[in-house]
Structure formats: structure tokens, C-alpha cells
Amino acid sequence: MRSPRPLSLSSLRTVPLSERKKDCDERDFGAPYRGGGVLSDFLCSLPNLGAASDLFYLRDAIVAAYKNHHSVIVGCGGHVIAAGLSPLLCRLIEQKIITGLALTGDALLQDVEVAFSGHTVGYKDRDLVTGSFGVTEETGKLINDAINFAAIENLGIGKSVGQHLIDAGLRHLDHSVVATACRYGIPITVHPVIGADAFNLHPLAHGESLGAAGMRDFRLLAGMMAESSGGVLLNVASGVVLPRVFLQAVDAARNLGKTIENLNTAMIDPSVNGVAVGDVVGRLSQLGGKGYWLQGSREILLPLLFAAVLDVLGGDFDAQ
């Protein structure tokens, strides 16, 4: 085999810059932000490219959904609550910008603990010696009492836990997403994973109740997705459970003959597996809308996104 020799580039063909396909022009460039401005000034300083461009498109989709009375459904993993974003979500529920919520079991657990204590509880250090990781008495009792009641009364987990929180009159209900959704009549569903969610280990937990109430919530989510045409679906900080649940809910609705069109979807997470992104951003966006993946910290991107939405709406939402 002959040894390779360096190629001469003297005869390489070049093309004029004018013939190259442009990605953007100077109108899309960013500009330095000048102190003393307002939020709209800051947003205008961002480049209309990459993640910033996706943020603007997603903002416009939410604004359009709100103005046309279409769905804005938000799915939350536990890190949304742990990141201190409960007050933001509660306010968006009150303003009727969010029309539906879906939570993982971990998000439910964290929300209830915020309602009890007014702070988030650390779960990073597992106590494998005593086996007491995450089995909090007050949290486990309220959640499982609510789930057992839900099974008897043919309710979902979200609605039943929300009502139990309100009835308990806890001090920090104003920071509870579940209680706020229940108070304002916003559908909220919970999708637990048996054995993975800490409240499953509480002595009051019953698999039959958990299955019955959880199935009720899945059916409610399928109904929400059946009415989601022209709306927006945001999945925040859940890379395993909710992407698959959303996909199954859409499949169920379409199997039953429901038409879902022009549904815009987004994943907000700094790092998530390709399957989850494919489900939310890829497969669900095949319904005629567009899909976006904002790869950054949810504690920055979620407030920024909805601040941009409210900046466009101004005072419009107060009149509706």
C-alpha cells in the first residue's frame, strides 16, 4: 500500500460569496442591551437565531393560543417545583394562561411538601441505613388519603389531592400548583410510577386506589389532548414519564376518532434523552404544529418565556 501524499489545493474550485445560501442577515443579529430599559428592550437585544429564535416562536404560539381560546398545557417533573417555580405557575393559572397541567408523581410530592412547609425538601442524600428516604408522614398521609378517596368517588389524583389540600387549610397553599389549579377549575392530572414515587411506600398506600385514580387522570389527559388543536404543549423537566404519557394520550384520542391539528410542542430541559425529544418535539409536532427543544435551565427559561408572553399581552389578560 502506497503512503498517502498531501494534495495540492492550487486547483481547488471556489464559489462567490454571493452564491452561498445565507442563514441570516444583519436584521437577525443581537445588540448590546442598554441599561435602564424594559423587558421588551432586552428581548429585542437578543439575536433572532438559535434558541432565542425558538423562544420567540414559542412565545408567539402561546400568545396566539391564549387569544384564540386554545389550550396551553404544561407538563411538570419534580425539578420544576424544586427549582422554586411554583409561584410562577400559580400566577399563570390565575391569569388563565395555563389551561391544563400534568404532573409526575415526584412533582406532586414536592408540591404537597411546599404546601405544608413553604420550602422544598432535599432528596439528594438517601438514608439507606434507616430506609427512611422520602417517606414523609404528613405528605404520605395526605396524598394517600386523597388517592383512596379518589378511588371511591371516581376522581383523579390531581383533583382529589387539590381538594384535600384546600380542605386542610395549609399555610402555604398560595404556592401549591395542585391546590391553585383545583381552586380555579383548571384540569390537573398526576401520572405516578408505582415503586418510584416515595409516597407509594407509606402504610396508607393501596395499589388498587393508585391504579384506579391514576387511570382516571390518564383518561382526563387524553380528553385534554383531544381538545388541544391550535394549542401548545410544554413538557418541562420530565425526560422519561411525561413524554411517553403525552404520546399515549394523543394516540388514545386519535384512536377514538378525535382530530388534533396544529399542536405546537416544546421540551424545556438542559439535557434529556433522544427518545423523549423525539416523542415531544418530533412525533407530536407531526400533528401540524412545530416542535422546539430549549436546552437550558428551566429556572431561567420558563420565567423568561412567560415574561415574554405577558410582555406581549400587556393588560389584555386582565379583561378576559
pLDDT tier at 20, thresholds 50, 70, 90: confident
- For residue 276, the model assigns a pLDDT of 73
- The per-residue pLDDT for range 107-134, each reduced to its tens digit, is 999 999 999 988 876 555 555 554 555 5
DSSP 3-state assignment of 243? helix
- The per-residue pLDDT for range 224-245, each reduced to its tens digit, is 999 999 999 999 988 889 999 9
DSSP 3-state assignment of 190? strand
Question: Rounded to two decimals, what is the model's pTM?
Answer: 0.89
- For residue 285, the model assigns a pLDDT of 75
Domains and CATH numbers, the chain: 51-118+128-319 (3.40.910.10)
User: Which of the given ranges, 9-18, 19-28, 120-129, 164-173, has the highest pLDDT on average?
Assistant: 164-173
Q: What percent of the chain has pLDDT over 70?
A: 93
Q: What percent of the chain has pLDDT over 90?
A: 66
Torsion 89-90-94-95 (CA) sign: negative
Given a cut of 60, whether residue 318 has pLDDT beyond it is: no
- From residue 44, alpha-carbon distances to 54, 102, 304 in Å are 14, 32, 13
- For residue 112, the model assigns a pLDDT of 96
Given a cut of 50, whether residue 290 has pLDDT beyond it is: yes
- The per-residue pLDDT for range 181-197, each reduced to its tens digit, is 999 999 999 999 998 99
Could you count the other beta carbons within 10 Å of the beta carbon of residue 6? 5
Mean pLDDT of all residues in the chain?
89
- The per-residue pLDDT for range 243-271, each reduced to its tens digit, is 999 999 999 999 999 999 999 999 998 77
Given a cut of 50, whether residue 319 has pLDDT beyond it is: no
Determine the Cα–Cα distance for residues 300 and 191; give it in Å rounded to an integer: 25
Give which of 120, 116, 88, 125 is closest to 107, Cα–Cα.
120
- For residue 122, the model assigns a pLDDT of 59
Determine the Cα–Cα distance for residues 90 and 188; give it in Å rounded to an integer: 12
Determine the Cα–Cα distance for residues 85 and 268; give it in Å rounded to an integer: 13
DSSP secondary-structure letter at 3?
Answer: P
All residues at 6 or more sequence positions from 75 whose CB lies less than 8 Å from its CB, including other chains: 101, 102, 103, 233, 234, 235, 236, 238, 242, 246
pLDDT tier at 29, thresholds 50, 70, 90: confident
- For residue 149, the model assigns a pLDDT of 98
- For residue 56, the model assigns a pLDDT of 94
CB contact at 8 A, 289 and 263: yes
Given a cut of 70, whether residue 156 has pLDDT beyond it is: yes
